[in-house]
Amino acid sequence: MLPARCAGCGADRVRLCPSCRRALATARPGPTVLPRVHAAAPYAGPVRQLLLAHKERGALWLADPLGDALARAVCSALGPRAGLTPLLLVPMPSARTAVRARGHDPTLRLARAAARSLRRSGLNARAAPLLRHTRPVADQAGLTAAERRRNLHGALAVLPLAHRLLDGRLPVLVDDLVTTGASLAEAARALAAAGLPASAAGTVAAVVPHRPGRFPPAGLSPGR
């Protein structure tokens, strides 16, 4: 057996070192490029490496600590409303080809972990995939914010049983990462078109453009 290395910083003999665990646990959630979308931490350093390890390298055990961070972002985005009504965390849908290639659906896994974390803190929360792709979309990497919006517009719709799955709960969009906000904006459009408007969204991390130490201005409108 090879010795374990920290998925965040590469430290020897531990899968998640105390320093990287603290980076997730002590980050202060804040607003991102979209209104009512809060992220637990900037997409940098160990947080970036932990998300990549979970999503691309099969470190599925990271779902719980990442889910705890996502749960804090959800609570931050909802504010005082967090404990007032049952919640349904709605993950951004992953393309079937990506799920097959990775062997798992990372965003759905994180949503379920976040729902467990919220329940441990006394909130009534669960997760369910309400969204599906209606057409193929291009890889977002390298696209500008405007190109991402055009690429994704009209690409999502709700599942036929979405209203039954929601069952009176408050829908909250969740994702691992927000970059420009295009993906979350399209998801919010699809939910609203079905009469299920999302009241807020939470992500584990957010790309922070040019202003270290803080998130971009708050802003759910076009802008991942």
- Answer for the pair 114, 70: CB distance below 8 angstroms, yes or no: yes
Question: Would you state the pLDDT for residue 217?
Answer: 36
- Angle value at C-alpha 48, between 107 and 91, nearest 5 degrees: 15
Low-confidence ranges of the chain (pLDDT < 50): 1-2, 33, 211-223
HSE-CB for 108 with a 13 A CA cutoff: 15
Question: Would you state the pLDDT for residue 169?
Answer: 93
pTM recorded for the entire structure: 0.80
Q: Cα–Cα distance between 122 and 115 in angstroms, integer? A: 11
Secondary structure letter of residue 93 according to DSSP: P
**CB neighbour list of residue 153: distance below 8 Å, 6 or more residues apart:** 186, 189
Question: Would you state the pLDDT for residue 154?
Answer: 66
- Which structure tokens are listed for 174? 């969740």
Question: Would you state the pLDDT for residue 75?
Answer: 95
Question: Would you state the pLDDT for residue 18?
Answer: 87
Q: Cα–Cα distance between 152 and 223 in angstroms, integer? A: 11
Question: Would you state the pLDDT for residue 46?
Answer: 93
Question: Would you state the pLDDT for residue 213?
Answer: 41
- Answer for the pair 34, 221: CB distance below 8 angstroms, yes or no: yes
Question: Would you state the pLDDT for residue 87?
Answer: 96
CB atoms within 10 A of CB 212: 7
Question: Would you state the pLDDT for residue 215?
Answer: 43
Q: Cα–Cα distance between 96 and 68 in angstroms, integer? A: 26
- Which structure tokens are listed for 195? 């009469």
For the chain, the C-alpha Rg in angstroms (whole number) is: 17
